[in-house]
């Protein structure tokens, strides 16, 4: 299975696709061999491998959030929805893209991304859930694979124009985008008809998922209406979500009619939803000062819970503005008021680290992990505190235990590399840096690090064997990429 070829097609044609990135054109991409007469495109194993390759590719082009608290939240809400789908055994992986644009998309293998801009635009947790449920429906109804097969029926000039858009993007992003627009315009009616059918089905199935997951089905048409209203002031700069998920009056009317079939009741937002939105507002602000100004402006407004969430956002903004000392009393008060909320103790320990109060930070992490065992954010920040205080052996052991329970991320690989570097094991350090690069879609950099690891491995037979085998795998992938 030539995954780079399929990936190129996916990024151009999938129903929930991202806007094309010029970096895609760095590879020599051929038109894919799509489907066969039986309608079979790929095996589940191939689809899973394609999904993993797709996710690695995204890391090299987008700001995929590495924040465990943000990731744990989006995973929790996503998995809750997926469990209520008509294929609960389907594997899903949800993640957040640190982009202000309003967008969400579904990729192969159940990889579903949502931009931080969309999370911040939502005004209720059920609105966010409605978007995720819609994307889950695209996966469970096999719309992505149907799109591959539909692409095989496009005319050769249209397919060639789309390919040109990708290739030209390497030299000129504007030229590549213009070529893509021309290609899309050439088959506009075909694309619209194809999209509308699948979007309607995703709306219907997504609403069923919402209802079964204890979220408000009315949130879907409400969010659509707000997106449509936003176009009145957007001019030609439509939100990406609307470019890939066209919202029409009839579509809003249809979803509104379906929603009214469900009994009305209140669906309160979770505390985690509000906290994560506050954190994302600080992380994605144009600059730290603007985040600070925002939370100062909303301080003291709303319910007691909303005021406390704003206080948390203010504390994070203070830390981002190198005023961690001012943030500590705010966070201490929140931690005392909400002893069952891990976000507050984690932020307080971070403030202690920023002010070089290392013993206090470590004490906070150790106490918190007794109360919140296996909390990913607390564990990884505890590791950072240990590395900061040169306790590399303890950090390495903690990371090894962590990796047995959680899929490693580029960030985890980097922490492991730091631990081995402090321990004086350069070969292992290079090896883990290589894995970080590979997980981030940077194969050539990974190969370079593996070669450095091999040079410094000495006569360690086992380590040499591991490095050599991994190097062979990556070189084989690189050779396949060159052939394409």
In sequence order, the β-bridge partners of residue 64 are: 97
Q: Is 135 a catalytic residue?
A: yes
Q: Indicate the DSSP class of residue 114.
A: E
429 closest CA partner among 407, 453, 406: 453
26 closest CA partner among 3, 8, 12: 8
Cα torsion 411, 417, 423, 428: sign: positive
Catalytic residue among 127, 199, 203, 435: 203
Residues with Cβ < 8 Å from 388, sequence gap 6 or more? 353, 358
How far, in Å, CA of 79 to CA of 240, rounded?
Answer: 24
H or E element at residue 112: strand 111-115
User: Are 22 and 173 contacting, i.e. CB atoms less than 8 angstroms apart?
Assistant: yes
How far, in Å, CA of 298 to CA of 313, rounded?
Answer: 10
In terms of DSSP H, where are the helices of 299-442? 304-320, 324-337, 342-354, 358-371, 376-388, 392-405, 410-422, 426-439
The CA R_g of the chain, rounded to the nearest whole Å, is 24
Question: How far lies 88's CA from each of 46, 108, 130, 479, in Å?
Answer: 20, 16, 17, 37
In whole angstroms, what separates CA 292 from the centre of its chain? 25
Question: How far lies 431's CA from each of 347, 401, 441, 445, in Å?
Answer: 31, 18, 16, 11
| Count of CB atoms situated within 10 Å of the CB of 144 | 24
How far, in Å, CA of 252 to CA of 256, rounded?
Answer: 6
User: Are 193 and 35 contacting, i.e. CB atoms less than 8 angstroms apart?
Assistant: no
Catalytic residue among 99, 125, 135, 354: 135
In terms of DSSP H, where are the helices of 108-264? 116-121, 125-140, 143-151, 156-168, 173-186, 188-212, 219-234, 240-244, 249-259
Catalytic residues: 135, 203
């Amino acid at each position: 299975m030539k995954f780079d070829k399929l990936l190129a097609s996916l990024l151009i044609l999938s129903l929930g696709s991202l806007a094309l990135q010029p970096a895609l054109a760095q590879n020599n991409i051929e038109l894919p061999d799509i489907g066969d007469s039986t309608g079979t495109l790929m095996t589940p194993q191939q689809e899973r491998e394609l999904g993993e390759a797709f996710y690695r590719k995204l890391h090299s082009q987008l700001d995929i959030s590495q924040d465990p608290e943000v990731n744990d939240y989006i995973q929790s809400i996503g998995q809750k929805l997926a469990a209520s789908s008509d294929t609960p055994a389907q594997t899903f992986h949800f993640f957040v893209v640190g982009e202000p644009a309003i967008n969400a998309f579904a990729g192969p293998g159940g990889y579903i991304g949502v931009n931080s801009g969309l999370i911040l635009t939502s005004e209720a947790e059920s609105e966010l859930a409605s978007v995720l449920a819609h994307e889950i429906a695209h996966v469970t109804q096999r719309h992505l694979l149907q799109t591959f097969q539909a692409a095989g029926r496009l005319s050769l000039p249209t397919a060639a124009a789309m390919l040109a858009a990708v290739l030209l993007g390497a030299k000129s992003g504007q030229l590549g985008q213009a070529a893509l627009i021309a290609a899309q315009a050439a088959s506009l009616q075909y694309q619209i008809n194809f999209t509308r059918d699948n979007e309607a089905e995703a709306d219907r199935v997504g609403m069923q998922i919402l209802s079964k997951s204890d979220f408000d089905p009315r949130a879907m048409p409400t969010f659509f209406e707000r997106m449509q209203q936003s176009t009145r002031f957007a001019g030609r700069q439509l939100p990406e979500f609307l470019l890939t998920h066209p919202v029409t009056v009839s579509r809003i009317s249809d979803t509104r009619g379906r929603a009214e079939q469900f009994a009305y009741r209140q669906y309160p937002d979770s505390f985690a939803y509000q906290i994560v939105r506050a954190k994302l507002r600080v992380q994605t602000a144009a600059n730290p000062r603007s985040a600070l100004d925002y939370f100062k402006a909303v301080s003291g407004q709303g319910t007691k819970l909303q005021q406390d969430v704003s206080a948390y956002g203010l504390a994070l903004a203070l830390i981002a503005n190198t005023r961690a000392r001012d943030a500590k009393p705010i966070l201490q008060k929140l931690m005392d008021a909400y002893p069952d909320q891990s976000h507050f103790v984690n932020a307080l320990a971070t403030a202690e680290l920023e002010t070089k109060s290392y013993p206090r930070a470590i004490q906070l992490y150790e106490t918190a992990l007794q109360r919140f065992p296996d909390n990913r954010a607390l564990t990884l920040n505890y590791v950072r505190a240990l590395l900061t205080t040169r306790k590399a052996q303890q950090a390495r052991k903690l990371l090894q235990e962590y990796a047995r329970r959680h899929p490693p991320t580029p960030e985890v690989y980097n922490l492991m590399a730091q631990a081995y570097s402090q321990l004086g094991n350069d070969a292992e350090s290079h090896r883990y840096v290589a894995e970080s690069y590979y997980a981030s879609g940077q194969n050539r950099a990974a190969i370079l690090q593996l070669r450095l690891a091999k040079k410094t491995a000495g006569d360690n037979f086992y380590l040499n064997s591991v490095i050599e085998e991994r190097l062979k795998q990556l070189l084989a992938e690189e050779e396949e990429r060159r052939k394409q």
